[in-house]
A and B are shown apart, each in its own frame.
Chain A
Amino acid sequence: MARIDLVDLAHSYGGNDAPQETFALKPVTMTWRQGGAYALLGPSGCGKTTLLNVISGIITPSRGKILFDGVDITPLSTQKRNIAQVFQFPVIYDTMTVGQNLAFPLKNRGMPKAEIDKRVAEIGRLLDLEPHLNRKATRLTADAKQKISLGRGLVRSDVAAVLFDEPLTVIDPELKWQLRSKLKALHRELDLTMIYVTHDQTEALTFADTVVVMHDGRVVQSGTPAELFDKPAHTFVGYFIGSPGMNILAAEVKGREAKVGGHVIALNRAYDNLPSGAKIEIGVRPEFVEVVAPGPGLLTAKIDRIDDLGRIRFARVRVGDAKLAARAPAGFTSSDGNAGLKFDPAHIHVYADSLLVEGAA
């Protein structure tokens, strides 16, 4: 169990002399507290797996340091780092029983047999694998196999952190939910630092108390699920988190007003010191835009279609060339395909070069 510090950590597969734009992982400094549940979230190729492999020691970072409880472990091999890792596809030792699989890491470390049996029984009980301990591991379902992979990490009492690399990819949907709850329960029970890599926002938001969103090798925001939703620090976060994602519109912003295609939208805060020459955009989540009948003072939009998600309906609309999503209130219909958009000024954010700008009250 450990606190993990990343200090100016970066990795380039092409060496440090390569231009920083090509780094698989751009320099990052952050601290993960002991016992936290973290998710690394981002699309494929965003560097999240690279970061995970750097932490587990499979990749040695080309720059920076990793500290476990203040001790620099950057040069240490995977074996010496005391981490456990669950991979995307279940890794099972085919010829062994479930119990032997769980005992494998302890046997390799030369632990006495009586102690191994005790630990295996304990972890077997914790993971609900008890009835299978004497069965061949290859015969089990994918979710049981992932539990074995996890168990092989947990049997070692000195584990500093458990790393998950998209562990639910091969699990059936209804079992995914079960396994995820199991992970959460284990996290509460064992007080372990868990780091969970995924590209699925639902998984990340339900599993982690802190979600680290990555994009293009960079950590763009790290925060609670609510923070990511309410206040995306980067247009990418706004767009990536939430379904549908945040509406991003090119705008001219001056003081408390944003101008979109000649139409003025009121803002709650004043933005007087925007960097000149920057690309200015406003972002607003579909939940805070409403389609209503067209009227004076409203931005007019063309409705492409309305998606009914059961408890909520989202209208897909078009303003000029920009595509937006907006909440369609119950009973809303449009006869001619035209609608007005009503924005909630409290939830409109302003972005300069994709980064959030805090306005003055």
Chain B
Amino acid sequence: MDKTVNQKAWFLVLPVFLVVAFSAVLPLMTVVNYSMQDTFGNNQFFWNGVGWFKELLDPSTDLGGRFLASLGRNLFFSLVILAIEVPLGIVVALSMPRQGWTVAACLVILALPLLIPWNVVGTIWQIFGRPDIGLLGYVLNAVGIDYNYVSNDIDAWVTVIVMDVWHWTSLVALLCYAGLKSIPEAYYQAAQIDGASRWAVFKAIQLPKMNRVLLIAVLLRFMDSFMIYTEPFVVTGGGPGNSTTFVSIELVKIALGQFDLGKAAALSLVYNLIILIVCWIFYTVMTNAGNERKPQEGAA
């Protein structure tokens, strides 16, 4: 095939290159540069090669120990909130009305937590859970449950998880609801004619049709919870001890607390890489799922 050669096109994409270079490539390269060096202040840098990366992956060093521990906590956190938010979101979506004014009311109520800024969510729960003045903390202690997220690891975890569920289940529910709404009425009528029970309808029609949106929901929630910073930082500050210190919190401690730019740069590169890889896996899975369905769409 003959292609028209037109070098003028380069002038049109040049501004984009410039913007991307200054907003993404140059800062990233700065980080790469830092990750290979050590500094003792005074703007003096010493070459360290891949030393920080070696330390990062070695649990016996201070840096590696902190990184891997926080990474483990982060993965655990993501799994727990996915295990709660996805089924809960499906249940909420299934029990929502299909028509009438109640639909709008439900949607508004569900959307509310999503509209609240992260640090406000953190503050709300920080106060809500306080044993002295918070409604939740006070009531729990009043009925005899010893609850204090500042001093007890488990309480801190429960608070952070419940907060995330409160904040983000709506997103899963709204996505699922959209998936449910797109199922044509004929499917339900056919199922009725086929004598399907409520559970059979869910298994044979609703769940397979929600497939796509559920994948998106899992992807979004995983990425978001894996990068979580603000809310747990506001509520627990990563404590008690290090029990709720997630990777991003650790990163900020190293970069801004200790001003270890080299270590922090290496950590953020690895952190970034993990997220990219997970992203890529999800993307591949999703596009493949799409390819599988193509022949049917073409035929129909």
Interface residues of A (CB under 8 A from B): 56, 58, 77-79, 83-85, 87-91, 93-96, 104-105, 108-109, 138-142, 145, 149, 152-153, 170
Q: Tell whether, in the assembled complex, residue A104 and residue B189 are in contact, meaning their CB atoms are under 8 Å apart.
A: no
| Residues in A whose Cβ lies below 8 Å from that of B295 | 139
Q: Tell whether, in the assembled complex, residue B193 and residue A85 are in contact, meaning their CB atoms are under 8 Å apart.
A: yes
| Residues in B whose Cβ lies below 8 Å from that of A149 | 190
**Of residues B186, B187, B196, B197, which shows the largest number of chain A Cβ atoms within 10 Å of its Cβ?**
B186
**Of residues A58, A93, A149, which shows the largest number of chain B Cβ atoms within 10 Å of its Cβ?**
A93
| Residues in B whose Cβ lies below 8 Å from that of A90 | 300
Q: Tell whether, in the assembled complex, residue B300 and residue A170 are in contact, meaning their CB atoms are under 8 Å apart.
A: yes
Q: Tell whether, in the assembled complex, residue A56 and residue B193 are in contact, meaning their CB atoms are under 8 Å apart.
A: yes
Q: A108-B195, A108-B196 are in contact. List 14 more A-B contacts (CB 8 A).
A: A56-B193, A58-B192, A87-B190, A88-B186, A89-B184, A91-B186, A91-B190, A94-B209, A95-B208, A104-B194, A104-B196, A138-B293, A138-B296, A140-B296
Question: Closest approach, in angstroms, between the C-beta of B179 and any C-beta of chain A?
Answer: 13
| Residues in B whose Cβ lies below 8 Å from that of A141 | 299-300
The residue that A87 contacts in the complex, of B189, B196, B205, B208, with Cβ under 8 A, is B189
Query: Which A-chain residue is minimally distant from B196 (CB atoms)?
Result: A108
Q: Tell whether, in the assembled complex, residue B192 and residue A78 are in contact, meaning their CB atoms are under 8 Å apart.
A: yes
Contact count A vs B, C-beta below 8 Å:
66
- Does B200 sit at the interface, judged by CB under 8 A? yes
Given known pairs A93-B208, A138-B293, the reply for A85 and B195 (CB within 8 Å) is no
| Residues in B whose Cβ lies below 8 Å from that of A85 | 189-190, 193
Q: 1/0 per position for B68-82, CB-CB distance to A under 8 A?
A: 000000000000000
Query: Which A-chain residue is minimally distant from B204 (CB atoms)?
Result: A93
- How would you classify the secondary structure of chain B's contact residues: helix, strand, loop or mixed? helix
Give the docked Cα–Cα distance between A105 and B201 (Å): 12
Q: Tell whether, in the assembled complex, residue A78 and residue B193 are in contact, meaning their CB atoms are under 8 Å apart.
A: yes
Q: Tell whether, in the assembled complex, residue B193 and residue A84 are in contact, meaning their CB atoms are under 8 Å apart.
A: yes
**Of residues B200, B293, B295, B296, which shows the largest number of chain A Cβ atoms within 10 Å of its Cβ?**
B296
Q: 1/0 per position for B271-295, CB-CB distance to A under 8 A?
A: 0000000000000000000000101
Given known pairs A138-B296, A139-B295, A141-B299, the reply for A93 and B205 (CB within 8 Å) is yes
**Of residues B190, B200, B208, B296, which shows the largest number of chain A Cβ atoms within 10 Å of its Cβ?**
B190
Question: Closest approach, in angstroms, between the C-beta of B298 and any C-beta of chain A?
Answer: 9
**Of residues B189, B190, B194, B200, which shows the largest number of chain A Cβ atoms within 10 Å of its Cβ?**
B194
Give the docked Cα–Cα distance between A85 and B192 (Å): 10
- Can you spell out 14 A-B residue pairs with CB atoms less than 8 angstroms apart? A78-B192, A79-B192, A84-B193, A87-B186, A91-B190, A93-B205, A94-B209, A95-B208, A104-B194, A104-B200, A104-B204, A105-B194, A140-B299, A142-B299
Query: Which A-chain residue is minimally distant from B296 (CB atoms)?
Result: A138
Question: Closest approach, in angstroms, between the C-beta of A268 and any C-beta of chain B?
Answer: 49
| Residues in A whose Cβ lies below 8 Å from that of B296 | 138-140
Q: Tell whether, in the assembled complex, residue B197 and residue A94 are in contact, meaning their CB atoms are under 8 Å apart.
A: no
| Residues in B whose Cβ lies below 8 Å from that of A152 | 190, 194
Query: Which A-chain residue is minimally distant from B205 (CB atoms)?
Result: A93
Question: Closest approach, in angstroms, between the C-beta of A287 and any C-beta of chain B?
Answer: 38
